Amino acid sequence: MNLPSIRFTYLLGFLVISILLGAASYLQIHDGITPCPLCIFQRIGLATVGVVFFFGAAINFRKVGSYFIASASCVFAIFGIVFAGRQVWLQHLPPVGSGNCGASLEYMLQVFPIQEVIKKVFIGGTECSQVTWQFLHLSLAEWSLLCFVTLLILGIVQWRRVANRFS
């Protein structure tokens, strides 16, 4: 079985991520679904994996660079899994009396140090636990989690392909 080249696989991943980010923007602009800070962190994670995939597709890296790109895609996919998984958990088991997601991310970044912002965003709250949109009975957070898991698997596959290529 002939697999597509490593760079072509990164290109396909980049295109899929671009479509996903475009769909998220469409839902925000057209349908008025305002993302909570957890959603914004997921978008940042998705965009970061997209940038890594773009560089993986655009540049013909040697051994160390190829390992770095594959590893970076896995690390940022795990970042996304953590935040998407947290939001899925909040949607299914919302914490009692937590309202930390009410403040905008922009406001929190102006007022708090970055460590505190990440902590407050991760704690989540009522806004983050609401399911405002579903497709095939899955919320946006669940789709996001599924996409990040798929991207992690793709990153692992790419890492193994790089290992086979340079062995």
d(CA 80, CA 19): 17
pLDDT value, residue 117: 77
**CB contact set of 126 (below 8 Å; sequence gap of 6+):** 94, 98, 99, 101, 102
> Is 115 part of a structural domain of the chain?
yes
- Give the total number of structural domains in the chain: 1
Note if the pTM is more than 0.85.
no
> Is 69 part of a structural domain of the chain?
yes
> Is 142 part of a structural domain of the chain?
yes
pLDDT band at 37 (very low <50, low <70, confident <90, very high): confident
pLDDT band at 95 (very low <50, low <70, confident <90, very high): low
Domain range for 48 is 6-165
Examine the pLDDT at 105 and tell me if it is beyond 80: no
CATH classification at residue 105: 1.20.1550.10
> Is 34 part of a structural domain of the chain?
yes
> Is 1 part of a structural domain of the chain?
no
Q: 140-165 and 37-58 helices cross at what angle (nearest 10)? A: 30
d(CA 99, CA 101): 6
pLDDT value, residue 1: 43
